[in-house]
Structure 1
Amino acid sequence: MTLVGTIYSYPQNPRVFKAQIVAKYNGLEVKVDDKFVMGTTNKTPEWICKFGASQVWLFSSCGCSRRAMSLTALLRYGSPDVPAFEGTDGTVIIESGAIAYYLAHYKEKSALVGRSKSEEAHIQQWIQFIDSSVGPPLGQWVFPLIAPERVPYNKATETQAIETVKSKLKTLEHHLVKKTYLVGERVTLADISAATSLLLAFKQIFDPQFRKEFPAMTRWFTTIVHQPHFKAVAGPPSLCETALKFTPPKKDTKDTKDKKPKEDKPKAEKKPKAKEPEPETEETFEDAPKAKSKLELLPAAKMPLDEWKRQYSNNDTPIAMKWLWENIDLTADYSIWKVDYKYNDELTKLYMSNNLAGGLMNRLERARKYAFGCLVVAGEDNANIITGYFIVRGNAEEMIEEITDAADYESYSWVKIKNVNNEEKKKVDQVFAWEGSIDGKPIKDGKVFK
């Protein structure tokens, strides 16, 4: 790997993880200075003169005397900004986001920065959303719990912070319901930046009850932190089981013997409550009727799809498949489609490929009444494929809208099998049974949509 520079910071800084993970993805080597001492190293004149340049130019853009005054001020008060980066070419950068951005763009045509102007903009959108909208209230919540000596605990502040965090994370949750990654169909700088920003929260305060409210976000987070490059830097991920709570310090016991008991005061008679006005009745509006699917206009199928799903669920696969081929009408009622993931060459771990297949299944809710399918993962770690078959209502040449509408649809090729002969049936059989091999790759796992 190419050595591009050195990062200076205190140990186990999640903001350093961000830059290190980006470097791993781009095949770059970044050293972390192990002699750095927070509060000492970053207050030396040498440090200030090197990494205080950004603050210097806030005071003056030119002029030796004014520049000297700026340096004097910095030397007096210090420059605590870490992490800081010094490149082998002399480039000096402070702030973790800027360092990660630099390393992400260091490699030409890196997938981390997006493959279009639109993707590039959306990557920055999510980075800024997490940093500016989620980060501050998250800090108000977690820091008083882990460092109360530095950030005093306040119950009202914590309550407000939790409400704000949940409110902001709903935006992330809504987006990820139909997405595997924040932008596009692969890991980008947005995923790395956001996941490292949430690392401490998932470890300390996002307990199982909290995670239940954000299943899509939790799925996305676990997918990202299990990536090999992420684990190589941040270590094995761990999710919080019991949320960190504030424990008030024990109060000193005081002698209360000399204290006089309080005199009982006569209770004041309660005034009768004024009769509250009855609430006005609100008008209720019925939901607008949902538009019917075009598939509802088709003649009734000879084989009800629900019955096939019951056969598949309640019987051994060979028995279920025999029933299917005896009852399905592929001339008008149904069609069978071959499905292949378009980016099989980018797949790594088997379980990650299976999670990816599950992501598509989760986004096909609209098609549940009109389709059944299996996707399998075949091969080994770093050499596997996602492939499968779907039974779809109707026999049109184009895929139904209920499937094309899914967020991950474009990541797969969908080819209608026009001649479902015995050879094709055997292929469908082994996919629906998760048995055998495909192109010499043994089937290891799979997902069912039913």
Structure 2
Amino acid sequence: MKVLTQYGNPEGNKIAVTAALVGASVEFNHDWQQRAKELAKQTFSQQAPIFEAPFGFFTHSTPVLKVLAQIHALYPADPVVIALVDEFLETSKDDLDRPVKLWLDMVFGTVPTDAEKLKKAQADVKKFLFIVEQRLKKSPYIVGNSLTIADISLACALTWAFRVVFDEKYRKPLPALCAWYAKVSGLPQFVSVWGPVKLAKVALEAPAPQAKVEPPPKPVAKKEEEKKAQPKHVDEDDEEKPAAKAVNPLDLLPPTTFELDEWKKLITNTKDRKSVMPNFWEKLDKAGWSAWFIHYEKAEGEGEKMVPFENLLDGFVQRMESIRRYSFGVMGIYGETPSLEIKGCLLWRGQEILQGLLDHPQFEYCKRVKADWENDNDRKRIEDYWGNVNDNDTVDGLVVQVIRFWK
């Protein structure tokens, strides 16, 4: 049985965690994106499925959870308990899963920020969580006194939020929810899929909404122009002035001769990426750009299994969205289990660490060393990180396992 989505997708991870709890075997299929259109024809909704089994394709996680857990205490035979679990799964899908996904999509920059929609999504999430808080004050689990797929579904839906937007202030009025989440997310089967969950210290904010471009004014008829020839006097103090548009400090740096977009296109469209590195060194504006070696400092238990570690890498890269216009590089997983490492090399505008990375909730756990443009060893390491991206290649003496090009 195969999960047809990327690591870190809550819907796919709900299935993977449930499978681990009941002893079923599932694997994440890496070619699902290439097969999406073909697979969509196999479903009722004509949408790309997230799960493939001998008995069919599924576009939603809930029926898969029920199939996997039907002979297990996670989905008890008691019809009353089944009804309560089903009721929660249906309710949380609309009242929590959708608004929390919209909130996170705006934070990660995968959808444009809409202030009104964001505010509503945040309010919907908080309202639902306070309802759950009251229930968990009376019961150790969502339904009754034992773990069910209702708990797995909710914990997976909230994991990215706990990592990114539920900071200490947000969590403070929800002690029962937090205690419950710590209990569920600490299960070995949950950790085997998600990895250890580091709670957000500071909430990551959605980028500011893009300014709306007003259409040009319609031409005014000649007679109307004559009527308006004598404008009324407006006191300068009373006149409303447009709000100043926020300027990124990086846009105020001295002009650079290095064209980042051209470089991204060149290296990503070249099979032998090392062959174009002379072009990079020739055109590099050393004063306007800096390169940094990044090494994630693992918590205990991290890096022992590929699935949760790749999940962690994808989350790290997603949260870099705010610096995309000003940066390039490679982040990847290197080494062998159970001693995998997340490392990389990033190029960015200016000589200091970008604010978008300082705001990144995982970046504080990373060692970062600035490359010396004149050091031959540093230049070789940059070329290795950006050029050695295939199976059996090595970087810093470690085998390449997973690569995420940041472009």
TM-score normalised according to structure 2 size: 0.50
Larger CA Rg, structure 1 vs 2: 1
Q: Which has the bigger relative contact order, CA under 8 A and spacing at least 6?
A: 2
